[in-house]
Amino acid sequence: MERTLSIIKPDGVSRGLIGEVIKRFEANDIKIIAMKMVHLTLDDARKFYAVHKERPFFASLTDFMTSGPIVPMILEGENVIEKNRTLMGATNYKEAAEGTIRRDFATDIEKNVVHGSDSHETAAVEIGFFFNQFEMNER
């Protein structure tokens, strides 16, 4: 069974979309095995998005991700990394398929409601960034 990290970003939390996003995961046979609400510092956000540090949107993205609380979750299911990316839709909501979270709710290429790991390697690193062994509900 595969795992991935999902985050409801500050725009999703402040606009009251936590329930809507979770509903879509559960309706698609994705199990939420861990979840919390946290408010990142700028240092945390820079670490989390380090892969993008040379990109022109890095400063704005890290400001946005620290602008309010976020809801990181560990999702579990068959092929869940790709499945979550499909449910999220393309980074740019204008290019996202109909019925995806970003197409339905994003307001901007940056303010696109959700994050999802893009590979097995990033999923493992990103889950470890937010959750320790006591929070993984494995007992």
- Best CA proximity match to 107, nearest among 95, 96, 91, 93: 93
Angle (CA) 65 33 45, round 5°: 15
Regarding 112 and contact with ligand UDP (CB under 6 A), the answer is yes
Among 118, 124, 125, 136, binds ligand UDP (CB under 6 A): 118
Piece of the chain touching ligand UDP by CB under 6 A; list 17-25, 26-34, 108-116, 129-137: 108-116
CA dihedral 46, 48, 54, 59 (to 10 degrees): -40
Among 57, 79, 95, 119, binds ligand UDP (CB under 6 A): 57
Least distance from ligand UDP to the Cβ atom of residue 133, Å: 26
Among 76, 104, 110, 135, binds ligand UDP (CB under 6 A): 110
Q: What residues are annotated to the active site?
A: 115
